[in-house]
Structure 1
Amino acid sequence: MKKIERSAVFLKENLALFQCPVCKEAFQDVSGQGVVCANNHRFDLGKKGTLHLLLKGGQNEYDKAMLSSRKALADTGFFHPILDAILNHIPKEGTILDVGCGEGSHLHYLTEKGLSGEKIGFDISKDAIQLAAAHFFDDAFWCVADLAQSPFGAEQFDAILNIFSPSHYQEFNRVLKPDGRVYKVVPDADYLIELRELLYGDRSYNNQDVVKRFKEIYPEALHEHVRYEVELTESTFRWLVEMTPLTWGATDADIEKIIKKPLKTISVAVSLLISGPIKVYK
């Protein structure tokens, strides 16, 4: 079957995982190669089998070039120790939602490592989802969507992956099953510290507010630190510089200067936060 046909089958078998982002009603049917809700709002699959559920806008700072560099870096195993830490805790089978999935490399690795079940990856960037569908179509169902106007059904997911991406805890709690969990990854103070010092001198980063907020929502959260060093080549250093948001505040001249003298190693240091029992909003 073509990709669009395979995606239509996925939707028919998993329609409850979605809801209409316009009226928040459940989708009633898969008509042709699209989904339709009770109020006749319709969303069609693209030729590559992706579903566009975004009401407006659709791009962020991650363009195709940056996403391609992120994929190239991910292919080297740069993020694997972080994902391995998640694998130590996440159920090996379940319904997974990857929030801000980018070009799909994280879900791809987790799938290769045996994480099974229905998986959905979504991002606000159309470029990201097109890359994910092009390279990792078989690993998940890919869609363009906005967390703030969520198109996902209530109490449908066993796990939410929230890796280097924004959070919306009220929405997370709505779509999680009663015993579901959030797996959030945020940078620690010394994440890519060598690159930060090259770009900005001694400018520091503090994740305390993010961690504190997570623990307010999930008081029984697990907090685990993941730290390691990565040896860099000229190519991997260039991909890192091209994909990291750290460079968004730097001038083109500054970026060009540091690329000419690449770092040999880089520190990766993150917090893995895993929710305990869900705190219900009132």
Structure 2
Amino acid sequence: MSNNEKLLKKARMLSYHEKMFQCPICGGAMKVERMASLECENRHCYDISRQGYVNLLNHSSKTKYDKALFEARKMISSSGFFGPLIEGISNRLIQMQKQKLPESGKPLRLLDAGCGEGSHLSAIGHNLQEKGHKPNVIGVGMDIAKEGIAMAAKTYSDPMWCVADLSQCPFADEQFNYILNILSPSNYSEFRRLLTSDGMLVKVIPGGLYLQELRALFYTGTGKETYSNDGTMKLFSRHFERSGFEELRYHVILDSEQVKQLIHMTPLSWSASPEVIERMSDGEMEVTADFTLLYGWK
């Protein structure tokens, strides 16, 4: 498929679902114009890129989440590091959908807020389509980092991708059945606005032992060798009616190249010295994956 054909396919998908969007500047309704841009009723215009994503930021954004970090995360995802996490989320959503049999014929709308390079949303959407929700799964991924969204749009064809600010989400009210927020900042007021009346937020936060091997070496003598997610859990419960949580912990053995990619992927390495990073990336390592999955009703 040529680039022009890919762009046209993305534009048609956006056109079909244009009522999901609202202008992040004025809140006006949006339409796809000339299969080239999303434009609101007040003429605020956002071009559809050659890769097929839409940049809906109305301000410039600088972030440490660069192309190298997202390439590293893509490689770690493809290694299966996040496999049990993806399965856990998928199985929970499939279970939830089976309890909504009267609505099973309706499309399921799924937003990944802070989707990065898109691997989590793509895998979960695929699992839902194959194992659970047969009619249709409409996936939307948003992130403030343009590099991640560009990679997502280039790699995964089905979901819709947009560069957007979490504080000004470019979507109309009550558009999503589920919102995923995986190892990413939250905006609970926007999440409540975007979820349907019976919608659910799925937030994944690091457990106390997440990447403890890296933390112990990066933060030796700083008092940050250990981590607690208690504050994040309390904040979640103040905004959403928590229907429970799951703790998921497992160990993964990574070869030297995968260790290098893991170090590049995680913000834990941002304050580490080059000498420590170089020493860690020499050889195989067993690392701890430790996640807390929070489920909350609107």
Per the TM alignment, residue 139 of structure 1 is displaced from its structure 2 partner at its CA by 3.0
Q: Does 1:105 align with 2:131?
A: no
Letter aligned with residue 250 of structure 1: A
Q: Match for residue 222 of structure 1?
A: 244
What 5-or-longer segments of structure 2 have no aligned partner? 98-106, 130-135
Per the TM alignment, residue 221 of structure 1 is displaced from its structure 2 partner at its CA by 2.8
Q: Does 1:30 align with 2:51?
A: no
1:16 aligned to 4, 19, 26, which one?
19
Q: Does 1:179 align with 2:198?
A: yes
Per the TM alignment, residue 263 of structure 1 is displaced from its structure 2 partner at its CA by 4.9
1:7 aligned to 5, 10, 28, which one?
10
Per the TM alignment, residue 159 of structure 1 is displaced from its structure 2 partner at its CA by 0.6
Per the TM alignment, residue 257 of structure 1 is displaced from its structure 2 partner at its CA by 2.1
Per the TM alignment, residue 56 of structure 1 is displaced from its structure 2 partner at its CA by 1.3
Letter aligned with residue 93 of structure 2: I
Q: Match for residue 259 of structure 2?
A: 237
1:1-282 mapped onto 2 (5 Å cutoff) = 2-27=5-30, 29-32=31-34, 33-91=36-94, 94-115=108-129, 116-136=136-156, 138-201=157-220, 203-260=225-282, 262-276=283-297, 278=298
Within 2, Cα distance between the matches of 1:172 and 1:124? 16
Deviations 1:136-189 (A, max 9, x none): 1x2311111111121111001011010000000000000101011111000011
Q: Percent identity?
A: 38
What 5-or-longer segments of structure 1 have no aligned partner? none
SS of residue matched to 1:89? helix
Deviations 1:17-48 (A, max 9, x none): 11001101221x22111122121111110111
SS of residue matched to 1:2? helix
CA contact (8 A) 1:232 1:265 kept: yes
SS of residue matched to 2:241? coil
Within 2, Cα distance between the matches of 1:190 and 1:273? 17
CA contact (8 A) 1:18 1:26 kept: yes
Within 1, Cα distance between the matches of 2:242 and 2:46? 39
Within 2, Cα distance between the matches of 1:219 and 1:200? 35
Letter aligned with residue 61 of structure 2: G
Relative to structure 2, which stretch is displaced further, 57-66 or 139-148?
A: 57-66
CA contact (8 A) 2:90 2:128 kept: no
CA contact (8 A) 2:56 2:163 kept: yes
Letter aligned with residue 124 of structure 1: I
CA contact (8 A) 1:59 1:126 kept: no
SS of residue matched to 2:294? strand
Per the TM alignment, residue 109 of structure 1 is displaced from its structure 2 partner at its CA by 1.5
Per the TM alignment, residue 6 of structure 1 is displaced from its structure 2 partner at its CA by 1.2
CA contact (8 A) 1:160 1:181 kept: yes
CA contact (8 A) 2:117 2:149 kept: yes
Within 2, Cα distance between the matches of 1:200 and 1:217? 32
CA contact (8 A) 1:98 1:120 kept: yes
Per the TM alignment, residue 84 of structure 1 is displaced from its structure 2 partner at its CA by 0.9
SS of residue matched to 1:155? coil
CA contact (8 A) 2:217 2:276 kept: no
Within 2, Cα distance between the matches of 1:193 and 1:16? 44
Taking a change above 3 Å as real, the CA distance of residues 125 and 59 of structure 1, as seen in their structure-2 partners, is: farther
